[in-house]
Amino acid sequence: MKMFGLLGKLVKLAKKEPCGEEVSHRLQKVRLWLELQRGGKSSHEAARLLHVSRATLYRWARRLKEQGLEGLRPKSSTPPSPAAAAVEPPVSLGRVPLAQGAAPVGQTQNHGGASTGGHSL
């Protein structure tokens, strides 16, 4: 990749402008990756030394080249949640009276037969 010249300009720009901790971290990883490659390491070996996948480093480098520092900002992979106004609150039924002769939840009625211990046969 012919990014060495562009990378130098972006590193200088990042020092002048605050770009956020995550962007600085990613820029540092890309810079080290390119320096390791320039020193003779393969991209795979350099990525392994940096504890970042090679695909991630290539993606960061491509975004850096195409979008500048903005391309290194974290992107959310989860879909946006629906707006709070669009979500209806649950309907409360309040207390509903039991039907005549119904047993409360967790209890069974014994109609004079042998006890089943609360279980039906």
pLDDT in tens, 76-91: 767 666 655 555 656 6
46 lies in which domain range? 4-12+21-68
Residue 112 within any structural domain of the chain? no
Residue 46 is assigned to a structural domain of this protein: yes
For residue 31, being part of any structural domain is answered with yes
Q: Is residue 78 included in any domain, yes or no?
A: no
Q: In this predicted model, what pLDDT tens digit does every residue of 12-67 receive, in sequence order?
A: 666 666 678 888 888 889 888 888 988 999 989 999 999 999 999 999 989 988 88
Residues 6 or more apart whose Cβ sits within 8 Å of residue 108:
116, 118, 120
pLDDT of res. 13: 62
Q: How far, in Å, CA of 64 to CA of 18, rounded?
A: 16
Domain count of the fold of the chain? 1
User: In which band, very low, low, confident or very high, does the pLDDT at 1 lie, cut at 50, 70 and 90?
Assistant: very low
